[in-house]
Amino acid sequence: MLIRLTGGQVYDPTSGIDGQQQDIYIQDGRIVNKPTGDFQVDKEYDLQGKVVMSGAIDMHTHIGGGKGNIARTLLPEDHRQDPVASTHICRSGCGHAMPSTFVTGYRYAEMGYTAGFEPAVLPINARQAHMEMGDIPILDKGGYVMLGSDDYLLRMLTAKKDQKAINDYVAWTINSAKAIGVKVVNPGGINAFKFNQRKLDLDEQNAHYGVTPRDILEVLATAVKELGVKHPLHVHGCNLGVPGNMQTTLDTIQGIGGLPMHLTHIQFHSYGTEGDMKFSSGAAQIAEAVNNNKNITIDVGQVLFGQTVTASGDSMRQHFNHKFASPNKWVVMDIECDAGCGVVPFKYKDQNFVNALQWAIGLETFLLVNDPWRIFLTTDHPNGAPFTSYPHLIRLLMDRSFRNEVLATIHPEAQKMTTLASITREYTLQEIAIMTRAGAAKLIGLKDRGGLSAGNWADITVYTDNTDRQKMFEKPDYVFKDGELVVVDGKVVHTKWGTTHTVKPDFDPSVEQGLKDYFDRYLTMKLGNFKISDDEITEDGRGSITVHPLRA
Amino acid sequence: MVEIAEVPSPFCGVGTDDLKIQVDGVTLKVLENGCVVNTPAFEQPITDTQPRVNGQAVSLDVAVAKVASLLKNTALPVIGGCATDVNGMRGLLALADRCGAVVDNMNFTRARNNFLALQDSGWMNTTLSEVKNRCDLFLVIGADLEVVVPRFFERYIWNAESMFIEKTDQREVVYLGTAPSGSASTSPAGKAAQVLSCATDDLPEVVAVLRALVNSRLIRAESVAGINVADLQALADKLKAAKYGVVTWAAGALTYRHAELTVQTLSEMIKDINNKNTRCSGLPLAGKEGDLTANQVCGWTTGYPARTRFSRGYPEYDPFMNDTNVLIAEGEADALVWVQAFNSKSVPPVTELPTIVVGRSGMVFAKEPDVFIPVGTPGIDHAGHAYRTDNVVAIRLKKLRDSGLPSTADVLNAIEKALREETVC
């Protein structure tokens, strides 16, 4: 079937198309060139006056894995505020802070998103991450596998294993966990917490291993680069949430020595210690460092006001943060000599000085980083806010007067501590398309997503232009997933199953000798049972695996 | 005849995966690393292979159509048992969503002791590999651990090697409440566990005093439920002195009313210890017959644990009202679907309601259900996934033989499809 989307204003940064009127043809799920000669259009959508972008990609969202399910179990009262009934098309579930899997898929699609990437896949919990994501309809998905606090890597570092050996281990782990990237969370800190260390700065040693976060970042960033994995090492840095952590973040950027590195939810790592409250914005310094270091990419982790729940692999910092739990209940876990997690409900309040300044710091970061190809729109769902707040966030970025109206309502001392009012920048539609589509696809290394040129999969979102950008982005006219119409007027009309994006870097099979010995001696599962096979994702007939190319 | 190594077990709760099993046609024999729980569960022969409607053998299609007709006009069917693998639970929840059923895991009343504590105040927990490598003090509360999990001590406490404990036989094991029935908790060097025994019903009081002592509160009594307060003081001191203490309990063994308060006191005590400059973690024991699997899959599908109803079109969790036995006793339920793929001895409650059983081959019923569909066992007849006790690790279950029995998911998906077709028409 040949589908034509006629006359829309197309924003396709990958092809350099910035709002020009252009027709798009879809056949067999993909975008094709206009056929030559006589041809018959089977279905046409008149998009005169509409805005056309590719489907949005959330490059950092906690949508799969054990800590998310702990968060769900912890908060029945939150679900009760947002029940979602089944329809003849959709399954029932719940929404708000940590929606059920089916509702996650529907609500992302209803905002024009067609892919989401879980950034904290513990190797030992990767099965669960894939099983949960396997129950998220419509969206494509993928995961970044977490390393850096696993005892195996730390033992390798203590034993001074060479980079080649570490590369083999990293590649083996990516393959075993069916991941598309590598993440490190509080490098070595989750492990140090198990030895009762309560903080771990960039150059502070793990009490048992003598290894520092700096050592871990260097070997992992090098491994990712040398393996040819396109997504740079995805870093949740040291000292999350600690006043003054801006300096740690700047040192982390300098310390990586030009290697590609993605610093995630950087808002939580951009705090100074100025002012009466000893808490201030470091966004300007961080943005300057990002602007000056082309090897660095970031996503923001914007805080928006309201109830949410924070779910992180960073057991060390989450244990500290339990003092702020609202409601006052929380979970921290040590996990399988592999990693850990912490789940702490949070209510961000605009009249709380710290929360209000966190909000402003995130926005300052968005507005002070110049290159939209190196910054990504996230709330670190659900940690800064649920993903359903993205249209509101887009309006804050695109509409200065709206932004200043909200600014005028937050805690007065926080208003004094931010430069936000003086920042005139407003994001353009093309910049939004870069941050949420083209840039994200490029950063993750998706070969045929995030663009609207021929050959791409037809993941396409159509909006009605509206100066109220929140209204515009929360209710697309149409969303196509792999060429199938899934959303009309902001409601799911049809569901399908997306694919799981992965990479498969090579490794020396002899890496399994050391691993098998380690598993047999110290772990509680056999090596052969640890590795996830393709059929675990595909056997129910819904899932599929897409392998993306490595850097040549 | 083949031998399959590294077979994971869905039966013992701890995900033992070192079994060696001989497969001869459909006959299984555990050759290595069996135990009193796993060996009979694997070796149980297949008896029923064909579905029955009103006691008469029928084809699967006929049985599925009969189930759909029984469920079609129900107002509040209850799906109990919920003992199956991840795909089985997916099918079960899709069916429940379709017909507005109540989903209720058969172990939920016990598991509720944990859920109520978790949902009120949370906890700090750990997992089996951490226990194996880090635990230096192991405190068992109210459970006869080796009966529940026969190989627990062998695999996780007296393991030959450990990364951070120089000699595992120097680990300290303390029982509070029930005394162990065997000697699995005695170290290889012959050191027996310390036992501070009391009646299970007295645990709330004893645990409350222990927490108070951990927090240096003054206790005027000299003994509590027959235990010297001085002994509890020594235990509190040990917990604070340990580098990585682990406290374990089995929610199902706390067989008194409001046992969730005991779980909460323990969990809060563990949090307290973590604020006293050392580490300590909880390890709730569960994971039998798919109970954690049911709660996990129901959790991500609905937001709630597996005692949830769909009768108003969306999931509603109620840990008390959605109890199968209550709904049957009070005449609210109008049909019962019993799903139990692991244990043929676990049969549905006898009721006058239309009863459908999707169960492991070999079930013997006091009253023949309207429909019985024998299904394969996950990890024997088909591959699958199940959660083990620490609720973090999902094990990949293997298919060991070709029995021809359908999986739970096959059957429930077929019923859901038949119902959907009837509703749409």
CB of A286 within 8 Å of a chain B CB? The answer is no
- Give the closest of B123, B130, B314 to A85, CB-based: B314
Query: What's the confidence (pLDDT) of residue A519?
Result: 98
| Bridge partners, residue A311, by sequence | A343
Are A336 and B128 inside 8 Å of each other by CB? yes
Helix ranges, B192-259 (H): 203-214, 229-241
Instruction: Inform me whether the C-beta atom of residue A332 falls under 8 Å from chain B C-beta atoms.
Output: yes
- Chain A interface mutation, best of B33, B298, B300, highest count of A Cβ atoms under 10 Å: B300
A376's torsion region: left (phi>0), alpha (psi -120 to 50) or beta?
beta
Instruction: Verify whether the Cβ–Cβ distance B392 to A125 is below 8 Å.
Output: yes
DSSP B179: P
Type of residue numbered A145: V
Nearest to A93 among B133, B301, B396 (CB): B301
Domain of residue A492 covers 53-500
Helix, strand, coil content of chain B in percent (nearest 5): 35, 25, 40
Kindly state whether residue A99 falls inside one of the protein's structural domains: yes
Beta strand B335-340 with B355-360 is parallel
Q: What is the rounded distance in angstroms from the CA atom of residue A83 to the CA atom of residue B90?
A: 19
CB contact under 8 A, B299 and A335: no
DSSP A35: P
In terms of CA atoms, which chain A residue is nearest residue B295?
A73
In three-state secondary structure terms, B253 is helix
Phi, psi for A500 (deg, rounded to 5): -105, 120
Q: Which of residues 132-151 of A touch B (CB under 8 A)?
A: 132, 135, 151
Long-range interactions of B194-200: CB distance < 8 A, separation 24+: B196/B227, B196/B231, B196/B232, B196/B235, B197/B226, B197/B227, B198/B225, B198/B226, B198/B227, B199/B225, B200/B142, B200/B253, B200/B254, B200/B255, B200/B256
- Determine phi and psi for A128, rounding to 5 degrees: -65, -45
**CB-based contact B6 A76, cutoff 8 Å:** no
Q: Are A369 and A290 in contact (CB under 8 A)?
A: yes
**What's the farthest any 2 CA atoms get from each other in chain A?**
73
Nearest chain B residue to A68, by CA: B300
Q: Tell me if residue A292 falls in helix, strand or coil.
A: helix
CB contact under 8 A, A69 and B300: yes
CA quadruple B122, B127, B130, B134: dihedral sign? positive
B244-265 pLDDT tens trace: 999 999 999 999 999 999 999 9
Q: Which of A62, A63, A73, A80 to mutate to test the interface with B (most CBs of B within 10 A)?
A: A73
pLDDT by 10s per residue, chain A, length 552: 999 999 999 999 999 999 999 999 999 999 999 999 999 999 999 999 999 999 999 999 999 999 999 999 999 999 999 999 999 999 999 999 999 999 999 999 999 999 999 999 999 999 999 999 999 999 999 999 999 999 999 999 999 999 999 999 999 999 999 999 999 999 999 999 999 999 999 999 999 999 999 999 999 999 999 999 999 999 999 999 999 999 999 999 999 999 999 999 999 999 999 999 999 999 999 999 999 999 999 999 999 999 999 999 999 999 999 999 999 999 999 999 999 999 999 999 999 999 999 999 999 999 999 999 999 999 999 999 999 999 999 999 999 999 999 999 999 999 999 999 999 999 999 999 999 999 999 999 999 999 999 999 999 999 999 999 999 999 999 999 999 999 999 999 999 999 999 999 999 999 999 999 999 999 999 999 999 999 999 998 899 999 999 998
User: Sign (positive/negative) of CA torsion A320, A325, A331, A335?
Assistant: negative
Q: Is A445 left (phi over 0), alpha (psi -120 to 50) or beta?
A: left
**Mean predicted confidence (pLDDT) in B413-425:** 85
Nearest alpha-carbon partner for B290 in B56, B91, B72 = B91
A425 within domain boundaries:
yes
Contacts of B121 in chain A (CB under 8 A): 328-329
**ipTM value for the complex:** 0.97
Alpha carbon distance A259, A206 (integer Å): 24
Check CB contact under 8 Å for A329 and B409.
no
pLDDT attached to residue A540 = 86
Of all residues in chain B, the one with the smallest CA distance to A128 is B394
B391 to chain A: which residues are within 8 Å by CB?
66
Q: Is B321 exposed, middle or buried (0-12, 13-18, 19+ CB in 10 A)?
A: middle
Q: Which domain CATH number covers A95? A: 3.20.20
Backbone angles phi, psi at A125, to 5 degrees: -110, 10
CA atoms of B231 and B248, how far apart (whole Å): 19
- Let me know if domain B47-107+289-424 sits in CATH 3.40.50.740: yes
The neighbouring-strand residues paired with A462 are A52, A478
pLDDT tens per residue, range A494-525 = 999 999 999 999 999 999 999 999 999 999 99
Give chain B positions within 8 Å (CB) of A84: 314
Q: Check whether the bond before A382 is cis (ω within 30° of 0).
A: yes
CATH 1.10.3720.10 fits B111-285, yes or no: no
CA distance A384 to chain B (A): 20
Chain A nearest-CA distance from B63, in A, is 23
- Is the Cβ of A340 closer than 8 Å to some Cβ of chain B? no
Instruction: Look up residue A149 and give its amino acid.
Output: S
Spell out the SS3 assignment of A146-188: ECCCCHHHHHHHHCCCCHHHHHHHHHHHHHHHCCCEEEEECCC
Helix (H) or strand (E) holding A522: helix A511-522
Q: What is the DSSP letter of B404?
A: -
Residue B424 pLDDT greater than 70, yes or no = no
d(CA A194, CA A310): 21
Sign of CA dihedral B154, B158, B159, B164: positive
Distance from CA of A483 to the nearest CA of B (A): 26
CB contact under 8 A, A93 and B302: yes
- Is A6 inside a domain boundary? no
Does the distance separating the beta carbons of B302 and A86 come in below 8 Å? no
Tell me the residues of chain A between 441 and 460 that have a Cβ less than 8 Å away from chain B.
none
DSSP state of B387: E
Q: What is the pLDDT of residues A244-289, one digit of tens each?
A: 999 999 999 999 999 999 999 999 999 999 999 999 999 999 999 9
Q: Please provide the size of chain B in residues.
A: 425
Give the Å distances, CA to CA, from B311 to A322, B67, B100, B101: 36, 18, 4, 6
**pLDDT digit string, tens, across residues B192-202:** 999 999 999 99
Tell me the C-alpha distance between A193 and A151, whole Å.
13
Question: E strand or H helix at B5, and its extent?
Answer: strand B2-7
Contacts of A349 (CB under 8 A, 6+ apart): A305, A355, A356
Residue contact B314–A529, C-beta within 8 A? no
Do residue B315 and residue A540 have CB atoms under 8 angstroms apart? no
* Beta carbons of B303 and A98 less than 8 Å apart: yes
> Cβ(A335)–Cβ(A306) under 8 Å?
no
Query: What's the rounded Cα separation, in Å, for the pair A457 and A42?
Result: 18
Cβ–Cβ gap A79/B18 under 8 Å: no
Residue of A nearest to B86 (CA): A131
Task: Give CA–CA dist A92/A88, Å, rounded.
Answer: 10
Query: Token pair for residue B399?
Result: 């298919």
Q: Which residue has the higher pLDDT, B243 or B288?
A: B243
Across the interface, whether the CB atoms of B6 and A528 are under 8 A apart is answered yes
The percent of residues in chain B predicted with pLDDT above 90, rounded, is 96
Hey, are the CB atoms on B90 and A331 less than 8 Å from each other? Answer: no
| CB contact at 8 A, B384 and B407 | yes
For residue B425, what pLDDT band results from cuts at 50, 70 and 90? very low
Please judge whether B119 and A79 are an interchain contact, meaning their C-beta atoms are less than 8 angstroms apart. no
Alpha carbon of A378: minimum distance to chain B alpha carbons (Å): 22
**Which of A124, A196, A332 is nearest residue B392 as measured by Cβ atoms?**
A124
Q: A539 in a domain, yes or no?
A: no
- In chain B, what are the domain boundaries? 47-107+289-424, 111-285
Contact B391 A529 (CB under 8 A): no
Residues in B closer than 8 angstroms to A69, CB to CB, are 296, 299-300
- For residue A328, the tally of other CB atoms under 10 A from its CB is 13
Residue A23: CB atoms within 10 Å:
15
Q: Are A248 and A186 in contact (CB under 8 A)?
A: no
- How far apart, in whole angstroms, are the C-alpha atoms of residue B97 and residue B298? 11
Looking from the CA of A37 toward its CB, the CA atoms found within 13 Å total 0
Give the largest Cα separation in chain B, rounded.
73
- C-alpha distance from A263 to closest chain B C-alpha (Å): 27
Instruction: Centre a 10 Å sphere on the Cβ of residue B390 and count the other Cβ atoms it contains.
Output: 28
d(CA A54, CA A458): 8
Query: How many helices, marked H, and strands, marked E, lie in chain B?
Result: 13, 22
Nearest to A132 among B98, B300, B305 (CB): B300
**Would an 8 Å CB–CB cutoff place A326 in contact with chain B?**
no
Rounded to a whole number of angstroms, the distance from the CA of B221 to the nearest CA of chain A is 32
Nearest to A12 by CA among A458, A477, A341: A458
Any domain includes A542: no
Give how many domains chain A has, as a whole number. 1
- Here the tokens at position A70 are 């702990």
In the block, tokens 């959605």 appear at: B322
Inter-residue contact B167 to B129 (CB < 8 Å): no
A532 inside 8 A of chain B by CB: yes
Question: Minimal CA–CA distance to A498: which of A31, A30, A137?
Answer: A137
- Alpha-carbon span B73 to B334, nearest angstrom: 10
As a residue count, chain A comes to 552
Residue of B nearest to A333 (CA): B125
Phi–psi pair at B216, nearest 5 degrees: 60, 30
Check residue A484 and give its pLDDT.
98
Task: Report how far residue B297's alpha carbon sits from residue B155's, in angstroms, rounded to the nearest whole number.
Answer: 28
Using DSSP's 3-state secondary structure scheme, residue B71 falls into helix
Judged by CB atoms closer than 8 Å, whether chains meet at A72 and B299 is answered as yes
Q: Do A337 and B14 touch (CB under 8 A)?
A: no
User: What is the rounded end-to-end Cα distance, in angstroms, of chain A?
Assistant: 35
Tokens encoding B256? 């008194």
Q: Among A92, A103, A196, which would you mutate to test the B interface (most chain B Cβ atoms within 10 Å of its Cβ)?
A: A92
Q: Taking a C-beta distance cutoff of 8 angstroms, is the pair A282, A272 a contact?
A: yes
Q: A375 with A435: CB under 8 angstroms?
A: yes
Hey, what amino acid is at B51? Answer: P
Tokens coding A388: 């359903």
**Whole-number Cα distances in Å, B188 to B159, B167, B168, B183:** 10, 11, 9, 10
